[in-house]
Amino acid sequence: MDKNNNLPLSDEQQEQQLPVGDTQPFENTGGEDRTIAFEAGSSQEASDLVDDILAEEMPAQWEEETVAVQVSEPEQDSFEPEEEEQPEEQPDENVMPPVKPRNPFRRVPKRVYHRGRLFSLAYVLVTITLCIFGSVMFLRVFNDVLAFITDNRAITINIDENDTTDDVAAKLKEAGLIKYDWLFSYVAKFEDAVGPYEAGEHTLNDNMNYMQLLNEIEKKEAVRETVQITFIEGLDINEIAELLEENDVCSADEFIEEVRSGSDYGFDFEAEISHSSDIFYPLEGYLFPDTYEFYTNSAPADIIVKMMRNFQNKIDTVQELMTEMGLTQHQTITLASIIQAEASGDPENMKLVSSVYWNRLNDVENYPMLQSDPTRDYANSVILMSGNNSANQRKASLYNTYECTGLPAGPICNPGMDAIMAALQPESTAYYYFCSNTRTGEFYYAETLQAHEENVDQIN
């Protein structure tokens, strides 16, 4: 304790009051001065030191004396300064109290009006009503399309020959088979089931959904039989027509009529087909020989399109060769048709026959005519056989290479790919004549007329 202020001392103050190493005298009755030294502020050390001293052997005069040393921590009195009571200030009546600034972040409660509550309630009721109404309508439409819940009634309706989808939908609605004719028409258009419909009476059931109704009333195509026909290389249009009629694909007359119609079938190569009045069959040479599958009782136009599509695919592969040889498409097919008729089925002889005609075409002054027997046969058996009139006689002379110079007016048959390639890639020879043995199929070539006549005599 501070003697002056009567306040408790702190630890630091106590250490300052009692520095380390200070000694305090310890008196005894034996006359011998003994001193106990300890560090101030360390009560445990002081106590231990006293115990050590007492444990030593003491003189006899000390035996009955008891020395008690009590070292304790200085007590710290708790002291809290008392606050002085301040006199209560009396507000000045003449001074306005300070205004507390408004907190800009303080939330101002919204005023709730009775009218807003009514509006919210009305909005909720309207929303619920619309949801219920929409759900009911959706279920009704859904049931009408799929026919989940029905009376299972059989109903008969009559469909006329030219009824449209809307007409049929109206009749189905009137009969009670559907409720929404506009939706039925939409589904029919979406499913591409807009007719034609089978005319006559139809017994239907109200448990049929939209697609079942459409399937029931649509016109059913009869199962059509198909036939496979192989057109060999070198057939003319008349021979093709006869094969089609023999296999019940179409009549020969209808096919010939379609060939002569001059119709455009939408192929690129048609732009180079000659429709000159000198041409007997404009499509002769362009119906590519191959094996085809046709429906019986087919339309002639469908047959022509299928064969011309095949030709388009083939002719596209030789466009560059035709340009290199300086031939048009019409000239190429015309020459190929003659080669095909002369050496059908023999690609090697086709190239040799082609060389003969190329040599003649390149020497028109000495060999103005090709003198091909198949061209004469075509003029007589095809053109003149269709009618021996002046128009056909003129055309026949334009096809007969014993009468016309150069190439004939048009193709005389429908050549295959070997003949077309032979026309564009002939062998390099000096031949101007050839003949063949029809019994053996052997060909004989000659550079001069005399050598050619000797070959003919040998065959005969």
List pLDDT tens digits, range 81-134. 555 555 555 555 565 666 566 665 566 555 555 566 777 777 777 888 778 777
pTM of the model: 0.57
Can you tell me which residue has the tokens 């002939």? 426
Q: Does the pLDDT of residue 31 top 80, yes or no?
A: no
Q: Does the pLDDT of residue 340 top 80, yes or no?
A: yes
- Report the sign of the C-alpha dihedral through residues 39, 40, 44, 50, in that order: positive
DSSP 8-state class, residue 380 = I
Strands (E), 226-378: 226-230, 291-295
Q: Do residues 139 and 182 lie in contact, with contact meaning Cβ atoms separated by under 8 Å?
A: no
CA atoms within 13 A on the CB side of 373: 9
What one-letter code names the amino acid at 422?
A
Give the mean model confidence (pLDDT) for residues 433-452: 95
Q: Do residues 272 and 448 lie in contact, with contact meaning Cβ atoms separated by under 8 Å?
A: no
Q: Identify the helix (H) or strand (E) that includes residue 157.
A: strand 154-159
Give the mean model confidence (pLDDT) for residues 169-179: 87
Q: What are phi and psi of 201, to 5 degrees?
A: -85, 140
CA geometry: angle 410, 411, 412, nearest 5 deg? 115
Token digits of residue 82: 């008392």
User: Which is more confident, 418 or 222?
Assistant: 418
Q: Do residues 151 and 176 lie in contact, with contact meaning Cβ atoms separated by under 8 Å?
A: no
Question: pLDDT at position 21, please?
Answer: 44
pLDDT band at 25 (very low <50, low <70, confident <90, very high): very low
What distance in Å separates the CA atoms of residue 192 and residue 179, rounded to the nearest whole number?
21
Q: Within 147-236, where are the H helices?
A: 165-174, 181-190, 210-217
- Considering 159-173, 266-280, 310-324, the range whose residues carry the highest mean pLDDT is 310-324
SS3 444: strand
What one-letter code names the amino acid at 320?
E
How do the domains of the chain map onto residue ranges? 11-62, 146-217, 317-459
Q: Does the pLDDT of residue 20 top 50, yes or no?
A: no
Question: pLDDT at position 350, please?
Answer: 97
User: Which residues are bridge partners to 156 per DSSP?
Assistant: 203
State pLDDT tens for residues 295-306.
999 999 999 999
Please enumerate, as own/partner, the contacts of 200-204 that have beta carbons within 8 Å and a separation of 24 or more: 200/158, 200/159, 201/156, 201/157, 201/158, 202/156, 202/157, 202/158, 202/159, 203/154, 203/155, 203/156, 204/154, 204/155, 204/156, 204/157, 204/172, 204/175, 204/177
pLDDT band at 190 (very low <50, low <70, confident <90, very high): confident
State pLDDT tens for residues 358-413.
999 999 999 999 999 999 999 999 999 998 899 999 999 999 999 999 999 999 99
Pick from 34-43, 131-140, 288-297, 308-317: least confident = 34-43
Q: Does the pLDDT of residue 319 top 50, yes or no?
A: yes
Give the mean model confidence (pLDDT) for residues 161-172: 89
What distance in Å separates the CA atoms of residue 283 and residue 260, rounded to the nearest whole number?
8
State pLDDT tens for residues 33-61.
444 444 444 555 556 665 666 555 455 44
Question: pLDDT at position 19, please?
Answer: 47
Question: pLDDT at position 53, please?
Answer: 60
CA atoms within 13 A on the CB side of 198: 15
DSSP 8-state class, residue 197 = B
pLDDT band at 162 (very low <50, low <70, confident <90, very high): confident
What distance in Å separates the CA atoms of residue 391 and residue 371, rounded to the nearest whole number?
22
pLDDT band at 192 (very low <50, low <70, confident <90, very high): confident
Question: pLDDT at position 432, please?
Answer: 98
Question: pLDDT at position 431, please?
Answer: 98
Q: Do residues 29 and 15 lie in contact, with contact meaning Cβ atoms separated by under 8 Å?
A: no
Question: pLDDT at position 28, please?
Answer: 46
Q: What are phi and psi of 386, to 5 degrees?
A: -80, -15
Question: pLDDT at position 367, please?
Answer: 96
State pLDDT tens for residues 206-265.
888 888 888 888 876 666 789 999 999 999 999 999 999 999 999 999 999 999 988 889
Q: Report the topology of domain 146-217.
A: Dna Ligase; domain 1 (3.30.1490)
**CB-neighbour burial class of residue 217 (10 A; exposed 0-12, middle 13-18, buried 19+):** buried
What distance in Å separates the CA atoms of residue 401 and residue 389, rounded to the nearest whole number?
20
Q: Report, in angstroms and rounded to the nearest whole number, the Rg of the chain calculated over CA atoms.
A: 63
Average pLDDT, whole number, for the chain?
A: 80
Give the mean model confidence (pLDDT) for residues 408-419: 98
Give the mean model confidence (pLDDT) for residues 291-320: 95
Helices 329-342, 417-424: inter-axial angle, 10-degree rounding? 110
Residues 6+ apart with CB under 8 A from 178: 144, 169, 172, 184, 210, 213
pLDDT band at 23 (very low <50, low <70, confident <90, very high): very low
What one-letter code names the amino acid at 103?
N
Token digits of residue 159: 């469909």
Q: Does the pLDDT of residue 460 top 90, yes or no?
A: no
Residues 6+ apart with CB under 8 A from 350: 339, 340, 342, 343, 418, 419, 422
With the CA atoms of 301, 305, 306 and 312 taken in that order, what torsion angle do they form, in degrees rounded to the nearest 10?
160
pLDDT band at 139 (very low <50, low <70, confident <90, very high): low
Question: pLDDT at position 5, please?
Answer: 47
Question: pLDDT at position 102, please?
Answer: 61
